[in-house]
Amino acid sequence: MMSTRKLVSLVALLLATATSAFAQKFEGLAMTPPMGWNSWNTFEIEISEDLVMGIAQTMIDSGMRDAGYTYIVLDDGWMLRERDENGNLVPDPEKFPNGIKHLADWLHERGFKFGLYNCAGSKTCAGFPGSQGHEFQDARLYASWDIDYLKYDWCNTDTRNAKEAYTTMSRAIREAGRPMIFSLCEWGGNKPWEWAKDVGHLWRTTGDIIDMYEGSQQWSNGVKTIIDMQHDLGVAPYAGPDHWNDPDMMEVGNPGLTLAESRMHFSIWCMLAAPLIAGNDLTVMSDEITAILTNKEAIAIDQDPMGKQGARFLKTPEMEVYYRELSGGDWAVCVMNASGETRETTFDLNNIYTQEGRPQGDFIIKDIWADKVLGKKSENSVVSKTLESHDVILLRLSHIKE
Ligand code: GLA
């Protein structure tokens, strides 16, 4: 007869096995939206070890790493156009002469995490070998290189079912045994917000971003167009700790945006609890752009531990207002001059009324970009400022505890 203790251990073992068979993503890796840098928006496939090391050094020197930007992700173009005779992916030896593991070690020693890109199709979007049919083999290879993050694209997927394809890769990562953030880049066509919570840590909601204010070019959309799409899709309620909507990597600091537009772009990403993945050439950025990307109070809005995504509250041709409920009874409010001209932009915070109700109690109002406390909301709830076209006022309303 089996002793009770043995029986209990056996049941525990069976339960653990069953749970791991069903478990998908590694949980708890992205309790706040991931922050880092990705090579695609500026460099496309012109990437190399030298580039990554230079970017990493700038992230250290500019304070970005210490502000929380710890994931460095190589996008498309890191590998050769063919697998080797064993079916393994091969890092391009001209771009990465010391291999990927060497670069991963170098980054880890400096306090970074390292991510790679591949695709659920037969080929990546830039025509390199995709992971279809090689999911488990590829995941084992990434794990052997100590990779921490995988961005997984959706080109050349033919008749594949998105949920199945992403679940397969998620399981492959799980089986390879190394915790990796899994970033779904499916562009929103199969509504990943409805099914990807247990599969990955973030999912793209829309097509690619480009460094212009608004409009669309083929697959790519301007920053404001991407923001409008988030609103129209109504994806906000689906985000939360460990599972985020991803409106795409940032274009902050790239030449197609004015400084005001970069500030607006960053502010709205913070309001939307979006992953803060910079996409500019950090080695040449201006002090103003560094100041935007490293602003601690803006980042604190993005990284709020409650993880509740904000939304748009008001839209007129002249002005848009976004709100976000934060932990501890605080709120963030972002007021945008949506017009094409410099304007006096005025908003009464008492007009905020959201699905969650009104902000309750009294608040200290802080203008984050001006680094200025404006006073108590009970004494003056009207915020007014002359804003350049497409610039914003970003406010934190800190709840005054009785
Ligand atoms: C797609 C993705 C982009 C980028 C490129 C790489 O367009 O959406 O973010 O990864 O592929 O080819």
Domain boundary among 268, 302, 336: 302
Confirm whether 153 is a catalytic residue. Answer: yes
Q: Is the pLDDT at 18 greater than 60, yes or no? A: no
Are 268 and 316 within one domain? no
Are 63 and 205 within one domain? yes
For residue 47 and ligand 1, the question of a CB distance below 6 A is answered with no
For residue 281 and ligand 1, the question of a CB distance below 6 A is answered with no
pLDDT value at position 353? Answer: 76
For residue 246 and ligand 1, the question of a CB distance below 6 A is answered with no
pLDDT above 90 covers what percent of the chain?
91
Are 112 and 163 within one domain? yes
Are 91 and 121 within one domain? yes
| 12 within a domain of the structure (yes/no) | no
> Into how many domains does the chain fold?
2
For residue 40 and ligand 1, the question of a CB distance below 6 A is answered with yes
Taking the CA of residue 204 as reference, the ligand 1 atom at the shortest distance is: 8
Task: For 352-396, write each residue's pLDDT tens digit.
Answer: 877 667 888 999 999 999 999 999 999 999 999 999 999 999 999
| 362 within a domain of the structure (yes/no) | yes
CA atoms within 13 A on the CB side of 221: 16
What CATH number should be reported for the domain holding residue 382?
A: 2.60.40.1180
User: How many Å lie between the centroid of ligand 1 and the Cα of residue 125?
Assistant: 6
Check residues 185 and 17 and name the one with the higher pLDDT. 185
Are 296 and 321 within one domain? no
Q: Taking the model in full, what pTM does it have?
A: 0.94
Are 263 and 317 within one domain? no
> 10 Å Cβ neighbour count for 71?
24
User: What is the rounded (10 degree) CA torsion for 263, 265, 266, 272?
Assistant: 140
| 6 within a domain of the structure (yes/no) | no
| 196 within a domain of the structure (yes/no) | yes
Are 242 and 94 within one domain? yes
Taking the CA of residue 185 as reference, the ligand 1 atom at the shortest distance is: 8
Task: For 284-322, write each residue's pLDDT tens digit.
Answer: 999 999 999 999 999 999 999 999 999 999 999 999 999
User: How many Å lie between the centroid of ligand 1 and the Cα of residue 209?
Assistant: 10
Domain boundary among 276, 302, 328: 302
Taking only Cα atoms into account, the Rg of the chain, rounded to an integer number of angstroms, comes to 22
Question: Atom 3, ligand 1: which residue's CA is nearest?
Answer: 208
| 261 within a domain of the structure (yes/no) | yes
| 208 within a domain of the structure (yes/no) | yes
User: How many Å lie between the centroid of ligand 1 and the Cα of residue 141?
Assistant: 22
Task: For 141-150, write each residue's pLDDT tens digit.
Answer: 999 999 999 9
Helix (H) or strand (E) holding 144: helix 135-144
pLDDT band, residue 19 (cuts 50/70/90): very low
Region 107-136: mean pLDDT is: 98
Helices and strands of the chain, counted as H and E runs:
11, 19
User: How many Å lie between the centroid of ligand 1 and the Cα of residue 385?
Assistant: 38
Are 282 and 355 within one domain? no
Are 297 and 326 within one domain? no
Task: For 180-189, write each residue's pLDDT tens digit.
Answer: 999 999 999 9
Distances (CA, A) of 122 to 117, 135, 165, 237: 14, 11, 12, 33
Question: Residue 392 is part of which domain span?
Answer: 311-399
Confirm whether 281 is a catalytic residue. Answer: no
> To which residue do tokens 């771009």 refer?
95
Active-site residue (options: 75, 76, 148, 153): 153
Active-site residue (options: 148, 208, 211, 248): 208
Are 144 and 194 within one domain? yes
For residue 235 and ligand 1, the question of a CB distance below 6 A is answered with no
Helix (H, G, I), strand (E, B) or coil at 168: helix
Domain boundary among 249, 274, 302: 302
**Taking CA 128 as the corner, what is the angle to CA 215 and CA 43, rounded to the nearest 5 degrees?**
50
Are 334 and 270 within one domain? no
In this structure, what DSSP letter does residue 349 have?
A: G
What CATH number should be reported for the domain holding residue 82?
A: 3.20.20.70
Are 357 and 386 within one domain? yes
pLDDT band, residue 174 (cuts 50/70/90): very high
Question: Atom 9, ligand 1: which residue's CA is nearest?
Answer: 208
